[in-house]
Structure 1
Amino acid sequence: MSAPRRLPAAAVLAVGTLSLAACGSGSSYGGSSASSSSQTSASGASKAAYTVSAAAVPGVGTVLVNGSGMTLYMLTSEKGGTLTCTDENGCTKVWPDTELPSGVAAPIAGTGIDASKLSTIKGPSGSLYITYAGWPLYTYTGDSGPGQAKGLGIVSFGGTWYPLSPAGAQITSTSGSSGGTTTSSSGGSGY
C-alpha cells in the first residue's frame, strides 16, 4: 500500500490565493436524489460532462470515470454532508467538481456502474452535483488524460482523495499487475 501523498504547501497556498476572487459556496449542502431515468437535456451541454461509467486504470483497477474517460475522485472529509472542497477555498481549481449543466436534472449511468448508487446533491446555490454511493465526485487537474489516477492518496483540503470503484468503495492503493485494492466507504452515504 502506498503512503498518502501530500499536496505541496506552495501549491495549496497558490490555489488559496487564486481562490480569493472565486465565487463562494457554502460549507455544507443538502441532498437531492435523482434517478438516471429522469434525464433532461440541456442545449449544447456535452453528455460527457455528466455520464459516469467504469473503466480500467493501469496499476489501480476499475474506477469510476466521466464521459471523457477521466478518473472521478471522492474526498474523505465530505462524509456526512460537509462540503470541504469549495470554490471559496480554491479546491475546485485543483479538483473540478461535477456540477450538472443548467437544465440537466440527473447524471447518465454509463456502462459498468450501479445506477442505483448514482445521484445528485444540491449545492448552496441550487446547482446539482453528481454523487456516487453518497460521495460528491471530482476530477483532478493532475490527470492529463484517461487511464490516469495521479490524485490517488493525495491529502489536501481536509481529507484524502481516492477514486471510487463501481461498488462505491474507495480505492486506497495501487495494485500490482491486476485490479486495484479497495476498502469500504463506510458511512459515505450519509447525505
Structure 2
Amino acid sequence: MPLRRIAVLATAACTMTIAACGSGEQPESQPQAPSAPAAVVGIRTAPTGDYLVDASGRTLYLFTKDEPGTSQCVDQCVAQWPPLTGAPQAGPGVDAAKLGTVNRPDGGQQITFSGKPLYYFAQDKAAGDIKGQDKMHVWYVVSPAGEAIKTAAPTG
C-alpha cells in the first residue's frame, strides 16, 4: 500500500503543478499595426543641378497646383503621378527637418518635402529618368531646398 499512496500523492502533485502553470499556451500578443516601410529621400548630383530622388535613384516631382500640405493629384492623376509613400527617411545631404507626411484625399499618406507632396512619374522607368520635367508646365523635379527646378531637365 505505501507504493500506491506515493503514486497517488505524486500524481496529485503533478496535477497541481500543471494547473498552477496554466494550460501551457502562450498568451496572445496584442496585434501591432504594421509599420510603413522606410522611403529614403536622397539627392542625385547632375551637371545641371541636384534634385531629389528615392533610394533607388528614381526622380521625385512636385505639382505646382498642390497647396502646402495638401495633394491635389487624385483619381486619374495618381495613375500617371503616383505619390511617394512610406515612412520618410533622409538620405545623405537631405535635411530631415524638411521631410514630413500629409493625409491624402483618398485616405493614404504621402511624403512631403518642405510641405510639398512628392510624386513619381509613371513613364520614368529607370534611375535618372526625368521624363516628367515641366510636364504641362506644372510638374517639376525638386531641388534639395524644396523648390521646383523650372530650368531644363537636369541630366546625369
When normalised by structure 1's length, the TM-score is 0.57
Identify the structure with the greater strand proportion: 1
Maintained 8 Å contact 1:165/1:171: yes
1:46-65 equivalences in 2 (<5 Å): 47=38, 50-57=39-46, 60-65=48-53
The one-letter amino acid of 1:53's match is: G
CA RMSD of aligned residues (A): 2.6
Q: Alignment partner of 2:67: what SS? A: helix
Distance, in Å, in 2 between the alignment partners of 1:70 and 1:54 is: 10
Cα distance change of structure 1 residues 149 and 170 upon mapping to structure 2, 3 Å threshold: same
Query: Quick check: which has more Rg, 1 or 2?
Result: 2
What stretches of structure 2 of length at least 5 have no aligned partner?
1-32
The one-letter amino acid of 1:167's match is: A
Distance, in Å, in 2 between the alignment partners of 1:177 and 1:93 is: 25
The one-letter amino acid of 1:169's match is: E
- Please tell me whether residue 78 in structure 1 is matched to residue 66 in structure 2: yes
Maintained 8 Å contact 1:152/1:173: no
Distance, in Å, in 2 between the alignment partners of 1:91 and 1:124 is: 13
Q: CA deviation at 1:131?
A: 0.2
- Please tell me whether residue 147 in structure 1 is matched to residue 128 in structure 2: yes
Q: Alignment partner of 2:65: what SS? A: helix
Distance, in Å, in 2 between the alignment partners of 1:79 and 1:41 is: 29
What stretches of structure 1 of length at least 5 have no aligned partner?
1-39, 101-105, 179-191
Cα distance change of structure 1 residues 42 and 141 upon mapping to structure 2, 3 Å threshold: same
- Please tell me whether residue 67 in structure 1 is matched to residue 55 in structure 2: yes
Distance, in Å, in 2 between the alignment partners of 1:143 and 1:177 is: 14
Distance, in Å, in 2 between the alignment partners of 1:175 and 1:164 is: 11
Cα distance change of structure 1 residues 151 and 125 upon mapping to structure 2, 3 Å threshold: closer
By relative contact order (CA 8 Å, sep 6+), the higher-ranking structure is: 1
Identity percentage of aligned residues: 37
When normalised by structure 2's length, the TM-score is 0.69
How many residues were matched structurally?
A: 124
